Structure 1
Amino acid sequence: MPDQHPAKPAQTPPPDTTLGGLNQREVYYAQQHRAPNTLRGYAADWQEFTSWCQARGSQPAPADPAALTGYLTMLADSGAKLGTISRRLSSIRYVHRMRGMVDPTTLPRVMLVWDGIRRDKGHDASQSRPLLLPLLIDALDACPTTRVFKDPKRADEPDLAGARDRALLLVGFVAALRRSELSAMNVTDLDDHELGMVISLPRSKTNQHGPAELVVLPRSSNPARCPVTALTTWLDLAGITDGPVFRGVTKGNRARPGRLNPESINTLVQQAITRTGHNPDGYSAHSLRAGFVTHAHLRGATDRAIARQTRHRSLASVGTYVRVESAWNDNAATNLGL
């Protein structure tokens, strides 16, 4: 199935809406302290907050605390997830700090409203449903394998979008990657290993300054479920030897040059679930990462072993993924004889 979401340019820098008073080279170096996807997100969030303020006759920077609490309330009342609201606050905080202004997100009025929103919505409401192994296998099996063309003169071909989706699902699950990491992955980040592959992540949500993080991609004895086989098959069929790993596919069954953007990856995961006949509500690209954590936990992996792959800094963060599934284990309520 051809993509409905065209790819975005690989290295388009975010608009300079945050760094004022710097020359071109200073802006370049200043932007190296954050991953490109993070900066693009900051720029988009800041533009939205700016538009919201201007529509109400308020200036975005320095932000009036009353305007900021009104903005947070609007987001919460409109159904925005906690993660979305938190990211907007991070963007507003970033802009003010870069401009040498007082950070309005730390003011008592703003913190009080934000704490109330978090308490009201709760943490779990913002989490994606984990994509567990049975549904993952169904999604893999439902990926199209053959592309049939209307032109009788054109022979059937392997379906590139299907091969891409299989690789994306398996790599995202086994490597426990975030959607931004799947989007940013380049061929040069992949290294062969006798046990499979090693993925180098130069930048991530939790690693903005340190050396590249290494994530292992073990080879499976079952080729149909092997992430290494799926990834190399996609790259070989698409003729990709350099540049972005995960790309859009044209209606003519050819790989596009640009990388998939993170939101498109969300959509592809939901489409993969829809093909199985299941309701995709509650699932997203993050369901792959959450599914890995939950499945590994259910198979007896320790939180420390899980965190080694997910790169969580806190073991408590790992526990938030498995709270629901763990609640069913060794629980008297499941054996009442009712």
Structure 2
Amino acid sequence: MAQTPRNPPPERRKLSSESGVPPVAGSHAQAAASENTLKAYSKDWGHFARWCRRRGTDPLPPAPDIIALYLTSLATPGTSPSARPLAASTIERRLSGLAWNFTQRGFPLDRRDHRIAAALAGIKREHGRPPVQKEAIQPEDIMAMTDTLPHDLRGLRDRAILLLGYAGGLRRSEIVSLDVRKDGTPDSGGWIEIMDQGVLLTLNAKSGWREVEVGRGSSARTCPVQALEQWLHFAKIGFGPVFLRVSRDGKRTLDSRLSDKHVARLIKKTVLDAGIRAELPDKERLALFSGQSLRAGLANSASACERYVPQEPGHAPAEKPRPDRRRQDRFRINLTRAAGL
């Protein structure tokens, strides 16, 4: 009896090479990147595979000259008005997506190959521009932003998102990935533990697991912990995702977890509604603020406690307590109040 060959036939290998799902990517490789990153990488591969197909070439194995030509095409204006050239930073991220996909398919890509490196350097020199610095949200800004929110379920949820994200210096993906309890859902990115002095967030961040302490604020209006408690109470959430979608009438929660895109839209909408930087046109105001504005706001507002504030929220603090004293030292430094809340 003939044995089944280990390698799939060529036609099946070609089909898998054009698929958005890497055929050899295991669960550990998938877990190494966030859900949003995996979605972006899948789109990157799909676009590259279609580009290759239109030119009669196969995306596998990786050919440095083909990849260099592809990167150059991304920076070149298309024939239609909608086919605008991509920014140099976006093209570099596309290359990262391709490299990840090639590796998962068993073909590691050498990004330092002189053809790829030369193409990328030329794109940066011709189309590169400095990154846009997002403006930090100040304590008076976050108060004005939360004051624009309604008092229905949607308003309670969004108020908790803004205050918790600001006081914790959280990424928008970290905010929406929180669960009420440990091991709550398969797509969980961490969980919360509400205590007398505040709430402890355990997060699976880009750099690994970390804990974030958010102390109680100086008033009910600005306390992120109280806002979180009110949302969980009135939304009747005792397990699963902390932040859920809400019905159009704002009266009931839905089953699906909130998207991190909602956080970006929420920040921009409340910035406009609160009249922050009203001297600028709306388009310029929207470009100034993003999810990064919450993280930057904490670092700026809590400068009085600079010794205990990371250089960038989400990194290890300057002084780390000894493990045997870690629990008794919780909330000894209340960054919520130091930040003006």
Q: Provide TM-score, normalisation by structure 1.
A: 0.71
What is aligned with 1:193? 195
Q: Extract unaligned runs of 5+ from structure 1.
A: 1-14, 146-158, 315-338
Aligned length in residues: 275
Query: Structure 2 counterpart of 1:206, which letter?
Result: S
> How has the CA–CA distance of structure 1 residues 98 and 83 changed in structure 2, closer, same or farther, with 3 Å as cutoff?
same
Query: Structure 1 counterpart of 2:295, which letter?
Result: R
The RMSD of aligned alpha carbons is: 3.0
Q: Distance in 1 between matches of 2:57 and 2:69?
A: 11
> 2:75 touches 2:85 (CA, 8 Å); kept in 1?
yes
Match of 1:222 among 210, 219, 223: 219
Q: Extract unaligned runs of 5+ from structure 2.
A: 1-17, 77-83, 182-190, 277-281, 319-341
Query: Structure 2 counterpart of 1:103, which letter?
Result: L
Q: CA deviation at 1:220?
A: 0.6
Match of 2:22 among 19, 22, 25: 19
What is aligned with 1:213? 210
SS at the partner of 2:67?
Answer: helix
Asked if 1:251 is matched to 2:215, the reply is: no
> 2:299 touches 2:313 (CA, 8 Å); kept in 1?
no
What is aligned with 2:13? none
Identical pairs, percent: 31
What is aligned with 2:338? none
After the TM superposition, which parts of structure 1 deviate over 6 Å for at least 4 consecutive aligned residues? none
Asked if 1:261 is matched to 2:259, the reply is: yes
> How has the CA–CA distance of structure 1 residues 142 and 243 changed in structure 2, closer, same or farther, with 3 Å as cutoff?
same
> How has the CA–CA distance of structure 1 residues 48 and 16 changed in structure 2, closer, same or farther, with 3 Å as cutoff?
closer
SS at the partner of 1:197?
Answer: strand
> 1:35 touches 1:204 (CA, 8 Å); kept in 2?
no
Q: CA deviation at 1:161?
A: 1.3
Match of 1:124 among 128, 131, 139: 131
> How has the CA–CA distance of structure 1 residues 21 and 306 changed in structure 2, closer, same or farther, with 3 Å as cutoff?
closer
1:31-77 alpha-carbon deviations (Å, 9 max, x no partner): 23333333233223322333344344443333443443344345456
Q: CA deviation at 1:227?
A: 0.9
Q: Distance in 2 between matches of 1:194 and 1:16?
A: 50
> How has the CA–CA distance of structure 1 residues 112 and 213 changed in structure 2, closer, same or farther, with 3 Å as cutoff?
same
> How has the CA–CA distance of structure 1 residues 230 and 95 changed in structure 2, closer, same or farther, with 3 Å as cutoff?
same
> How has the CA–CA distance of structure 1 residues 195 and 268 changed in structure 2, closer, same or farther, with 3 Å as cutoff?
same
1:203-246 alpha-carbon deviations (Å, 9 max, x no partner): 22222xxxx31111111112211111111111112111111112
Asked if 1:286 is matched to 2:286, the reply is: no
Asked if 1:106 is matched to 2:112, the reply is: yes
Q: Distance in 2 between matches of 1:288 and 1:79?
A: 30
Q: CA deviation at 1:141?
A: 1.2
Q: Distance in 1 between matches of 2:315 and 2:57?
A: 41
Asked if 1:176 is matched to 2:169, the reply is: yes
Query: Structure 2 counterpart of 1:282, which letter?
Result: L
Asked if 1:91 is matched to 2:97, the reply is: yes
Q: CA deviation at 1:200?
A: 0.6
Match of 2:237 among 215, 237, 240: 240
> How has the CA–CA distance of structure 1 residues 51 and 191 changed in structure 2, closer, same or farther, with 3 Å as cutoff?
same
> 1:196 touches 1:216 (CA, 8 Å); kept in 2?
yes
> How has the CA–CA distance of structure 1 residues 301 and 29 changed in structure 2, closer, same or farther, with 3 Å as cutoff?
closer
| Bigger mean CA offset, 221-230 vs 34-43 | 34-43
Alignment of structure 1 residues 5-16 onto 2, 5 Å: none
SS at the partner of 1:194?
Answer: coil
1:264-302 alpha-carbon deviations (Å, 9 max, x no partner): 3222222222222343223222221222233334x4624
Query: Structure 1 counterpart of 2:233, which letter?
Result: D
Alignment of structure 1 residues 45-84 onto 2, 5 Å: 45-76=44-75, 78=84, 80=86, 84=90
Structure of larger gyration radius = 2
What is aligned with 2:146? 140
Higher relative contact order (CA 8 A, sep 6+): 1
> 1:235 touches 1:245 (CA, 8 Å); kept in 2?
yes
More helix as a share of residues = 1
Q: Distance in 1 between matches of 2:160 and 2:259?
A: 16
> How has the CA–CA distance of structure 1 residues 67 and 266 changed in structure 2, closer, same or farther, with 3 Å as cutoff?
farther
What is aligned with 1:310? 314
> How has the CA–CA distance of structure 1 residues 48 and 174 changed in structure 2, closer, same or farther, with 3 Å as cutoff?
farther
SS at the partner of 2:95?
Answer: helix
1:76-133 alpha-carbon deviations (Å, 9 max, x no partner): 56464565444322211111112221415332222233345456534433x4333233
